[in-house]
Structure 1
Amino acid sequence: MAANLPWDITIEILSRLPVKSLVRFKCVSKSFYSLISQDSQFKRKHLDQSTRHDLIVNLEHGPERLFSSSLSYLSSDDHDQEGVIELPYPIKDNFSEYMTVSRSCNGLFCIQDIAGIVFIWNPSTRELRRLPDCPRTNDRIAYSLGYDSSSDDYIVLSIHKSIIGDCAARARTVFQLISLKRDSSWRKILDLPGMKFSLYGSYDFYNGAFYWTENIFIYSRRYGPLVISSFDIKEEKIKKIELSPPSRYSDQYTIFDVSVLGGKLCLYSLSSVTSFDLWVIEEYGVMKKILSIRLNEIQRYAAQVFKPLYLFEDGKIMLHTRINRIEQVDIYKDGDSAPKTTAASCKILRAYIYNETLISPQG
């Protein structure tokens, strides 16, 4: 029957299937193999229609092992072991406690190992690509991965400090880029004195730019407005947005950071005496509050991490938390003071969200 279907209808059907099935179907025929493995338009179509998002965690008692599960499974009430699979570890002999992993971009991850080597990894297809060594003089700050829609190419941003002599006060921040298709080596694009950067290394990619907060810790208003910086990959320039948090934060010790959730640029805060709050940053820096979680006394004073991972369509949010040195992944809804426990509520080391994709790290 499949042989009698028009090719365009066959493509539509295949573009809606999970990656695991498509990998198996590559052996059906030469045309299937060519479509699934080599056709960039089909890969993009499959990505655009993909609705499955997965969570990767590695557990405290087994740091060398990675486990993946779909978010639909984690948010349901019916949990069994079949909903969780183990992934082959991407970098041999380098466990995740020694890895730095950026937020996923279109299902791809940028990974740096303990030796400073950078890789691009697709957990859906298990493909891994090592990038050329990145020139750096001092401490690495961050790597992040973005997508240039004008050239259908993926861009890796490297940010690191360059200290002149032995004087930290004269440190410069160096920006370097490499594209997966066009570049064979890293190229320096900016060398800025006194640049402020995210202490958490959160450089999320949104709408053609990498975003981070400069003054992440706000106490009273003595530090001035909250500043969000961005690096535009087309113009290769730094831009800034100044935000004014609500006045009720003026006398509180509050952590602010940015995150891309539900396809929108968001600002979130963790306050020492109130709550976890989430805003969407709209045009011209307008903030629209969409969620607030009440923190009890134990959470307020014991929380070291309250990081959003995923915003569901029904308004619930998945958070990676570390409270009293115990790390969990839980789901909250607006107004909650206690989470809905998920299958990932156990001692973990890292947690990452990605969507299924056929996109190859090879470019």
Structure 2
Amino acid sequence: MADATLPEDVMVLILRLLPVKSLIRFTCVSKRFHSIILSDPNFAKSQFRVAHDRKTLAQRLLYSSTVPKLESLDLDSPSFKHPSSVRKHKLPSAPAHDDVLPLGSCNGIVFLAFDDKIIYSWNPSTGFFKKLPDPGFSPNKISVYGVGQLPATDDYRVFVVSTDYADDKNELAMFSSRAKAWKKLEVDFDEFCFCSNQGIHLNEALHWLDTSKEIVAFDLGQEEKHKFRKMLLPRDFNDGGGDYYENHLGVSAGGYLSLARNLYVCGDSVDIWVMGEYGVRDSWTKRFNLKFSHPPRQDWNFNSVLVLETTMVAEIYVHKRHEIGRGLVKIGKKEEDTRSMYKDEGDWLNMIQYQESLLRIED
């Protein structure tokens, strides 16, 4: 009888069309499958490119809690309440810690800081977990951070500001996966006052909102002249409510910088602007005014918005008999999906979006 086994190149072509969730299951089929899926960096890159081009990358929302714990929610699920939507993560060889902070993600790789001292790269889909070199910080608080990649060199960058609040001093450093080392940065940081901690990655730069009502950007690839630059908010952007409003940066569908504004307490809507041409102030356009069909009640405090590519997630404090929990609401272009309300009793430290992939930081 003729051998019906597929040639390996054909098998690889078929495998890279499959989603990461299925591929992880198929690692049990054979040692060869296990090796291709989890140990071949070329396969991981080709599978990611195919999923990206076909727009089939699975999107998840990762959040941390002071318990401490890490959980994620399926952003593609019709409801956060679906049993398969929630995933509890257990980190392999995780250090003893009181606090875990997701610094950001890029191409499915998440970077975590433990107690503001130890930083790891982690792929939640494959479980790959790798400690980064010691950045050499004083034992201070990580106050500003961000993660990005330089595609031309396949170099992942981690930007961290460590702040000594007692002496009002900042230390800046950036990790390069290609150099496998941290580099201290001499940048005039003190002239800025950030009102957001996590930098938004777009066009090989990180972006934060400044209290001066401007966007502060940092180019990850400018080796010789590391510095911050400013970008202006929309001309028709008017807080009007002073400290009663919160503003949030994100990346909208198509890879455009977006800006969300919501009322801090008991707000009933979210306004969204999109920058059509990167860096051009006059290209800002107000795209949506998202009204809540059921505005937050008196026992809800509408706290913040995470702007994602195809949807948004609103974080809401929920007060119950002198106890405070938190909830997440998915927001579409028309209204919030009350079926997607997800509640947790822990105190969340941060939430980030990540894409499922097989990629990892290579040795």
Q: Name the counterpart of 2:76.
A: 72
Deviations along 1:206-264, one digit per CA (max 9) or x if unpaired, are: 1201111111xxxxxxx5xx211111111143221112452653454422231224333
1:274, distance to aligned residue in structure 2 (A) = 6.9
Q: Name the counterpart of 2:340.
A: 342
Cα separation, partners in 2 of 1:344 and 1:200, compared to 1, 3 Å = same
Residues 312-323 of structure 1 correspond to what in structure 2 (within 5 A)?
312=310, 316-323=311-318
Unaligned runs of 5+ in 2: none
State TM-score, norm by structure 2.
0.79
8 A Cα contact 1:178 1:187, kept in partner: yes
Distance 1:233 1:201 in 2: 17
Q: Tell me, what secondary structure is at the counterpart of 2:287?
A: strand
State TM-score, norm by structure 1.
0.79
In structure 1, give the amino acid aligned to 2:57. T
In structure 1, give the amino acid aligned to 2:43. F
Distance 1:244 1:301 in 2: 33
Q: How many residues align?
A: 338
Residues 128-167 of structure 1 correspond to what in structure 2 (within 5 A)?
128-137=129-138, 138-161=140-163
Which residue of 215, 219, 236 maps to 1:246? 236
In structure 1, give the amino acid aligned to 2:127. R
Cα separation, partners in 2 of 1:156 and 1:300, compared to 1, 3 Å = farther
1:83, distance to aligned residue in structure 2 (A) = 4.5
In structure 1, give the amino acid aligned to 2:209. T
Q: Name the counterpart of 1:276.
A: 270
2:181 aligned with 1:179:
no
Distance 1:161 1:16 in 2: 45
Distance 2:136 2:355 in 1: 31
Distance 1:301 1:2 in 2: 67
Distance 1:8 1:297 in 2: 55
In structure 2, give the amino acid aligned to 1:334. K
Distance 2:3 2:218 in 1: 47
Distance 2:241 2:313 in 1: 28
Higher-helix-fraction structure: 1
Distance 2:30 2:252 in 1: 39
8 A Cα contact 1:277 1:292, kept in partner: yes
8 A Cα contact 1:306 1:322, kept in partner: no
Residues 88-99 of structure 1 correspond to what in structure 2 (within 5 A)?
88-89=90-91, 91-94=94-97, 98-99=99-100
Which residue of 216, 237, 240 maps to 1:229? 216
Cα separation, partners in 2 of 1:151 and 1:58, compared to 1, 3 Å = closer
In structure 1, give the amino acid aligned to 2:215. I
Q: Tell me, what secondary structure is at the counterpart of 1:176?
A: strand
In structure 2, give the amino acid aligned to 1:177. M
How large is the RMSD of aligned CA atoms in angstroms?
Answer: 3.3
Q: Name the counterpart of 1:360.
A: 360
1:126, distance to aligned residue in structure 2 (A) = 1.0
Q: Name the counterpart of 2:328.
A: 329
Q: Name the counterpart of 1:220.
A: none
Q: Tell me, what secondary structure is at the counterpart of 2:305?
A: strand
Distance 2:295 2:22 in 1: 48
Deviations along 1:143-178, one digit per CA (max 9) or x if unpaired, are: 322111011121111123468xx764xx4x443111
8 A Cα contact 2:260 2:270, kept in partner: yes
Q: Name the counterpart of 2:37.
A: 36
Unaligned runs of 5+ in 1: 216-222
